[in-house]
């Protein structure tokens, strides 16, 4: 769920970086740019008491929303622990943030992760990925465990396994004795193990070897797509990627879908998606409140659901595509002129002014 897709500075249409990854009942927030709590309030999820926040790095456009959100949790009287993960330097960041959020009603825990370290969880690992942003920075790869192969009921029957508890035991990988005394091994009735899902989030980065490795065969690669190729030099200077560079990496890694985010405020989206698709057709550039649904691999590929994260009351009339054109509009300003306003807010009404964007952080 894309809560913020802007790079460096917010625009009327795009908030700074934040992405909520939902898996089963879990909700993992990656980066927390300014205004993330309000983006969550406007989303179908609401501002839930998150258990965990994962930071890719400490630039302001990825972290400014955190002290405000932590304060709100305290004002609600939260008592559950909040765990914040990030690259080395996290402790130091919190020495400064503490002065802003003050006294909390709940404890928080800080966990610094280096590239290659992983959190082993029920059904998946979350691995810190090496990136190149000329700052203390990591990406994250969520890699699900392989699942047992399909159970072949006919093969089991032919081997004399009666339906019931023995089926379950075989599915769990245990050998069983069938009536008559023969032993049946799981591999006699189970197909090959089925791959789990793999989702890689880079945060801000140049094209990086660590990302290429982590993204091999990934279902979804969410990559820095700050600039178009005409800003290649700027991308290099500021340690970001161009759409084409990200697309080349996605092609080399053989991902199923490339998702570009962190757009510089001089781009509206269509020009970035065009450039990337010339190299890697399976590319999308979501807007705030878009969702990427990632089914299990055998059930189809990942899919962009436009406006899929908008709360019901904001949905009417807001999920139009708007991706056709826009490139010809004024650059360097605020919102995307082809977008309908979200929820009737007068967002974008006073945007822009054409101020030159600050350097991407």
> Which range, of 24-32, 72-80, 150-158, 201-209, touches Zn ion by CB under 5 A?
201-209
Q: Is 177 exposed, middle or buried (0-12, 13-18, 19+ CB in 10 A)?
A: exposed
User: Judged by CB under 5 A, does residue 206 bind Zn ion?
Assistant: no
- Shortest Cβ distance from residue 262 to Zn ion (Å)? 6
49 a catalytic residue: no
Binding-site size for Zn ion (CB under 5 A) equals 4
Minimum CB distance to Zn ion smaller for 61 or for 336: 61
- Shortest Cβ distance from residue 239 to Zn ion (Å)? 7
Catalytic residue among 49, 51, 61, 336: 61
Minimum CB distance to Zn ion smaller for 29 or for 170: 29
| Residues in 290-349 at the binding interface with Zn ion, rule: CB under 5 A | none
Given 42, 59, 287, 306, the residue binding Zn ion (CB under 5 A): 59
Rounded CA separation 206/245 (Å): 8
Minimum CB distance to Zn ion smaller for 37 or for 238: 238
Q: What is residue 175's three-state secondary structure?
A: coil
Given 34, 52, 61, 282, the residue binding Zn ion (CB under 5 A): 61
Q: Return the sign of the alpha-carbon dihedral for residues 326, 332, 333, 334.
A: positive
**In DSSP terms, which residues pair with 121 in a beta bridge?**
124
Rounded CA separation 279/284 (Å): 13
Minimum CB distance to Zn ion smaller for 61 or for 144: 61
Minimum CB distance to Zn ion smaller for 197 or for 240: 240
Rounded CA separation 34/54 (Å): 15
Minimum CB distance to Zn ion smaller for 56 or for 283: 56
Longest dimension (CA), the chain: 83
Angle (CA) 333 336 341, round 5° = 120
User: Judged by CB under 5 A, does residue 14 bind Zn ion?
Assistant: no
Rounded CA separation 230/89 (Å): 33
User: Judged by CB under 5 A, does residue 34 bind Zn ion?
Assistant: no
- Shortest Cβ distance from residue 272 to Zn ion (Å)? 15
Rounded CA separation 302/305 (Å): 10
- Shortest Cβ distance from residue 135 to Zn ion (Å)? 6
Rounded CA separation 52/73 (Å): 13
Q: Which of 44, 108, 98, 47 is nearest to 72 (CA)?
A: 47
Given 52, 144, 204, 314, the residue binding Zn ion (CB under 5 A): 204
> Which range, of 200-208, 214-222, 245-253, 282-290, touches Zn ion by CB under 5 A?
200-208
Q: Catalytic residue numbers?
A: 61
Residues in the site for Zn ion, rule: CB under 5 A? Answer: 59, 61, 204, 361
């Amino acid at each position: 769920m894309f809560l913020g897709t802007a790079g460096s500075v917010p625009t009327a249409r795009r908030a700074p970086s934040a992405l909520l990854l939902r898996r089963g009942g879990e909700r993992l927030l990656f980066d927390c740019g300014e205004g993330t709590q309000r983006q969550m309030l406007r989303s179908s999820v609401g501002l839930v008491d998150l258990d965990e926040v994962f930071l890719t790095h400490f630039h302001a456009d990825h972290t400014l929303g955190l002290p405000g959100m932590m304060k709100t949790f305290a004002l609600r009287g939260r008592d559950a622990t909040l765990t914040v993960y990030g690259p080395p330097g996290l402790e130091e960041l919190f020495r400064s943030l503490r002065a802003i959020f003050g006294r909390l009603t709940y404890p928080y825990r800080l966990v610094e992760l280096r590239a290659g370290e992983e959190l082993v969880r029920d059904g998946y690992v979350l691995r810190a990925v090496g990136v190149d942003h000329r700052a203390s920075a990591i990406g994250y790869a969520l890699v699900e465990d392989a699942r047992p192969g399909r159970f072949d009921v006919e093969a089991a029957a032919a081997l004399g396994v009666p339906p019931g508890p023995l089926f379950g035991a075989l599915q769990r990988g245990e050998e069983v004795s069938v009536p008559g005394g023969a032993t049946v091994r799981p591999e006699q009735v189970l197909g090959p193990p089925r791959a789990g899902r793999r989702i890689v989030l880079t945060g801000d980065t140049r094209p990086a070897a660590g990302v290429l490795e982590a993204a091999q065969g990934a279902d979804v690669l969410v990559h820095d797509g700050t600039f178009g190729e005409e800003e290649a030099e700027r991308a290099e200077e500021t340690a970001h990627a161009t759409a084409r560079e990200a697309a080349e990496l996605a092609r080399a890694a053989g991902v199923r879908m490339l998702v570009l985010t962190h757009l510089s405020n001089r781009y509206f989206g269509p020009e970035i998606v065009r450039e990337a698709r010339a190299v890697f057709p399976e590319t999308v550039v979501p807007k705030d409140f878009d969702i990427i649904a990632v089914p299990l691999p055998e059930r189809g590929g990942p899919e962009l659901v436009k406006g899929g994260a908008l709360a019901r009351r904001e949905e009417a009339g807001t999920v139009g595509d708007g991706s056709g054109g826009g490139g010809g509009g004024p650059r360097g300003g605020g919102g995307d002129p082809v977008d309908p306003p979200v929820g009737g807010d007068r967002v974008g009404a006073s945007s822009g002014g054409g101020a030159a964007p600050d350097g991407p952080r």
